Structure 1
Amino acid sequence: MEPHNHGGAEFLSSSPNWSSMASPKWGFLSSAAAASLRSPWGDAGLGTGGDNDGEGEYGDEARRGWGDGTIEREGSFNGAPRLKAEEFERRWVPPAVTSLLQALGGPAAPSRTEALEQLRQLLLRTTREHARQATQPHLATFTILANESPFGEIRKDFTQFLSFLDQELGLKPPASQNRISYFVSNIDITPLEPEDPHTRRLFCNIFMQTGKLTRLVRILGWHSTYLDRYFQTMSLVMRASGPLPLHMRNYIAIVAASQYRCPYLVAQQEQEFLNNGGEATWLKGIDHVPKKISHLLEINAILAHEPWKITRDHIAVVVKGTDAWSIGELVHGLVIMATFRSLAGIVFGCGIAPEADLALPDVDPTTTHDHGAGAGFFAASAAATTGGDYARSPRSRRPTTGVAVNPMHETVKILQALKEASPSPEPEPPLHTKRIVFENAGSEDPLGSDDDDDDDNDDDEGLADVGGGGGGSGGGGGGSGSGIRATRAGKLSRYIGPYRRTHADFDVHARDYSVFRVQDYSWKEHGYALVSRFYEDAAPLLDDQFDHIYYMTYHTISSHTDVDTAPFRESIWYYVHRIHGLLHEDYDYRNVNTYMNRAIKHFVKKVACFPDRIIRNDFENIGVDLRPEEKCHVALLAAEARKQAELLYGLHVVMQYMT
């Protein structure tokens, strides 16, 4: 089915179910905007929005003007009679904005245009100051609609509306650069109105269901078949019916993303949490949450950094006693945690910049010692919004731990290895050799030990000053005592509390844990069945997403076409499983070092284990000559493999507890 009109929301010949979307949640609203929309007047229509089509309690009155003698005749703004400020703010603006947003949820462009015009007239009928106060909370929303809608008519209408707010009320849209990624030029990223019909339909459907196209969605537009599956899974896991209430899902996502220090995802989920009726006090930190949430925090931390250390005893704490979790709730929670940590890898791995409504200021990493998606933007965000936050270690500011390879030369080597790859397996090495090969596959050798990747193990050195003297600008005393205290008091640390862990490499010689043999507990045979039992709809979607990214190929490497990339892709997948202690007996781990050089291993390991330390140099110097969308493909493989690894550990101990 081809799109037949690129002008507005009515372009789809098979449009979504508009009746079910008459009152969309519009999760992109700022917290202040969401709060104002939760008014005593609810979804009362003003004009043509919503189910009442302007015939709500105040619909007729709005079209006539005030009919009860409340027009203030003593003065006017811009030639229009003024409305009493108190009545204006309390009674009219929330329904007006609600009506406007509802008009976006239906197929009729005239509804949107009419609602915008009515809002203009309403704003002109009160004092300038009160009009400004009433409109300010929604500016970020209007800015997103003006700049990031896949419908040209919506962008045009809201661009004109922003111009009106500027000229008449002196309101400027929030400062936000239009950069989608700190690593990739916008010109290389999928446009808002893609030529590919499938991607175009997908963008439009996502916008109509969520009210925005996030920068994450724009990046995933490179791989629209994956984006399709990602969005289906996220819609089910975070929005559809399931064991956990919506606000609880959002909070689990917050604490999961906080362990990977990802303010982008945390800010998104804080908004969703409030929009779904969550208690604002929970956002003060884990000291303010119910005990039921607290019981999950240790599991969350272990699965984030050392999932091989999770035990059935940890599960028992959660599912027994007062405030216990049901197994279904716990399985749902495990899926959310694994999902959002994989998303953190994609966000950092692709250098995704924040949207205007996240209140996270943009800082171009070229001005911050090449922090990339890391400390420059996030430290500045913290300093501006919370007085402190996690930033990168001073040691992580240097280039990629000495990884220096010639990408053209390495590409030729990989292409040659792929060309020579035999369709039949080579003779299996002796068991002792297999163990050595498995162990070596997890190393970034010839870099030597991975000490450079473990610099976060030092509490103090893993934190940088995010105050005025350091962190945000990369200058000054990162790691000073005062800076460390500031970071510990920062926004994300309040979602971590005493459950702060850092990555530690899996040790194949460890005495307190052992290699996880996938033939004994696999996703296909065991994990899928457990998820299906307690969260039936999620299992096939997760499985489809894993399969799709594992097999997804365009048969290209850079400008080289007709390439069988399967061995290369598989090496990334099994390398991520290897560094998480998962052993696949049927995989030849010699292939990992055949197809992955030290630079690409370095990038993949960061995506999978500590994505907050990714810098632009990691992305640009990945060790192979790849296009930006191919580097994104690498990040997706690493992130999904990591998600499956975490799920295997979590689901395995749930099964152990049940038996």
Structure 2
Amino acid sequence: MQKFYDLNMILAHKPWRIEQEDFQRLTRGEDSWSLSEVIHGIILLVHFHSLTTYFYGCEINESLRRNRNNCCEMENHLASSRPGSRLSLLISDDESSSLDTSPERSPDRATDLENELMHSSVEIIDKEIRRKLSTPDDIPPDQLVKLEALRKKMEQLRRSSADSDELAERFSKIKEQSCELLIAPKQENLLLNTDIGLFIDKPDFTYEDFFCERNCKGSPTFRVQDYSWEEQGSSLVYSLASAELGSLLSDKFKIAQTMTYRTLGKHKNVDTTSLREAIWNYAQCLFGIRYDDYDYNVVNQLLERDLKAFIKTAVCYPERLSSDVYTIVMQNLHESEKIHVLLMLMEARMQAELLYALRALKQFMT
């Protein structure tokens, strides 16, 4: 597994740096991996990487922290109110005698506390989900105006007649602007002070803007017309792993991109295709991926600066997301629509990592 460490680190933060040599180190020498094992390992890794976008993005981390505090309070309450329970025996003053003589230490009684805690936790999580999925009736007036303006922009969009040079120029403009976005400051990595910190090498290795000069020099823009998931990426998964796995990944990407309730906040029967495309393509743009036939000018028309900053944080620095950011950004959308945005960002990041890894693997094979 140690052989996979460097590849995992690069894949998570700077996938454009993956090279053929990374696979050479994995597949040759002692304890080498087969190509099939390598591709399975990569698919597992990108799932964990992309899940952090969803995990931090929809406040699951903070919800778990709140629930954990509630559970601790509940444990203390149940322990004090039930002298015969297992937890009260563990914290009682005469612990040794209680453990030896208590008549209430049957297996059924020992699990009562766990059952009550689990039931209470399920209720807490259920309330949290219901709260998030409830329809917002108190959208501020200024947000309603922004929502209406966005809806009109989407309706008025026309297919661009710009030539390839103009489209390339518009992409360059987007990438320059992405470097200027203000992102939440780096926080202390608390994992370094835990047992798992012993296994973390190079903790300062994190995402850097792809379009910074030092990154662009050795890593040209990834053009989807030259290597796409639909044409080349999925085929490599089919051949090295399984057709079923390739199909499942393709279905995941397609569903995330095309799923729609045809709503935009309180507006119904809205075609959100252009908005979904802008979110997906901007997320992958941050990893240096460009769709040659896409007009990136649409990104600036449909995505406000704070939303672009949220997208960049979610896919590049998910650990820096906070509940305040989640609440402020997209506050004119339903919670279900926000979750859909996070699902798109999660899948867009996963596909971006896969594209770089699979392209390098194919080059290594040939």
Bin for the TM-score computed over the shorter chain: 0.7 to 0.9
| Residue deviations 1:583-611 (CA, integer Å, cap 9, x gap) | 11111111111111111112211221111
2:116 corresponding residue in structure 1: none
Q: Does 1:628 align with 2:328?
A: no
SS of residue in 1 equivalent to 2:194 = coil
The one-letter amino acid of 1:533's match is S
Distance 2:264 2:285 in 1: 24
Alpha-carbon separation, structure 2, partners of 1:654 and 1:312: 6
Matched, 1:488 2:195: no
**Normalized per residue, which structure has more helix?**
2
Q: 1:449 is matched with which residue?
A: 180
Task: Specify the alignment match of 1:325 in structure 2.
Answer: 33
- Seen in structure 2, the aligned counterparts of structure 1 residues 606 and 507 have a Cα distance that, compared at 3 Å, is same
**Conserved 8 A contact 2:54-2:342:** yes
Q: Of 307, 315, 318, which aligns to 2:15?
A: 307
User: Over residues 305-360 of structure 1, what are the superposed CA-to-partner deviations in whole Å (9 max), with x where a residue is unaligned?
Assistant: 1111111111111111101111001100111111111111111111115898x9x9
After superposition, where does 1:57-76 map in structure 2 within 5 Å? none
Matched, 1:502 2:238: no
**C-alpha displacement at 1:463, in angstroms?**
1.4
Query: Corresponding residue for 2:225?
Result: 519
Question: Which residue does 2:282 correspond to in 1?
Answer: 575
In the aligned structure 2, how far is the partner of 1:301 from the partner of 1:363?
Answer: 35
Q: Distance in 2 between matches of 1:409 and 1:442?
A: 28
Amino acid in structure 1 at the alignment position of 2:304: N
TM value normalised by structure 2:
0.74
Aligned with 1:296: secondary structure? helix
Match of 1:434 in 2: 167
Report the counterpart of residue 273 of structure 2 in structure 1. Answer: 566
Q: 2:295 corresponds to which residue? A: 588
> What residue is the counterpart of 1:124 in the other structure?
none
- 1:463 and 2:188 aligned: yes
How far apart in 2 are the matches of 1:343 and 1:320?
Answer: 31
Q: Indicate the residue corresponding to 2:363 in structure 1.
A: 656
Q: Distance in 2 between matches of 1:353 and 1:497?
A: 24
Instruction: State the AA in 1 paired with 2:251.
Output: D
AA of the residue aligned to 2:146? E
1:294, CA displacement in angstroms?
A: 0.4
Question: How much has 1:435 moved relative to structure 2?
Answer: 2.9
Q: Please show how residues 612-623 of structure 1 align to structure 2 within 5 Å.
A: 612-623=319-330
SS at match of 2:45: helix
Deviation at 1:434, TM superposition (A): 2.7
Distance 1:553 1:427, change over 3 A: same
Relative to structure 1, the CA distance from residue 354 to residue 408 in structure 2 (aligned partners, 3 Å threshold; closer, same or farther) is closer
TM-score under structure 1 normalisation? Answer: 0.42
Equivalent of 1:337 in 45, 49, 54? 45
C-alpha offsets along residues 506-556 of structure 1, whole Å, 9 cap, x if unaligned?
A: 117521111111111110011101111121121000000101111001000
Q: Work out the CA distance in 2 between the residues paired with 1:363 and 1:565.
A: 39
Distance change (3 Å), C-alpha of 1:634 and 1:570:
same
Q: Is the 8 A contact 2:53 2:342 kept in 1?
A: yes
8 Å contact from structure 2 (residues 185, 320) kept in 1: no
User: Counterpart of 1:412?
Assistant: 148
Match of 1:77 in 2: none
Structure 1 stretches of 4+ moved >4 Å: 353-356
Does the 8 Å contact 2:228/2:355 carry over to 1? yes
Could you tell me how far apart the structure 1 residues matched to 2:184 and 2:364 are?
Answer: 32
Unpaired stretches in structure 2, ≥5 consecutive residues: 72-140
The change in CA–CA distance for 1:454 and 1:627 in structure 2 (over 3 A counts) is: closer
Q: Residue 454 of structure 1: CA displacement?
A: 7.5
CA distance in 1, matches of 2:326, 2:203: 30
Provide the residue aligned with 1:557 in structure 2. 264
Change (3 A) 1:505 1:363: farther
Amino acid at match of 2:315: A
Aligned pairs, number: 294
Displacement of 1:437: 1.3
Counterpart Cα distance in 1 of 2:238 and 2:328 = 41
Higher-RCO chain (CA-CA 8 Å, sequence separation at least 6): 2
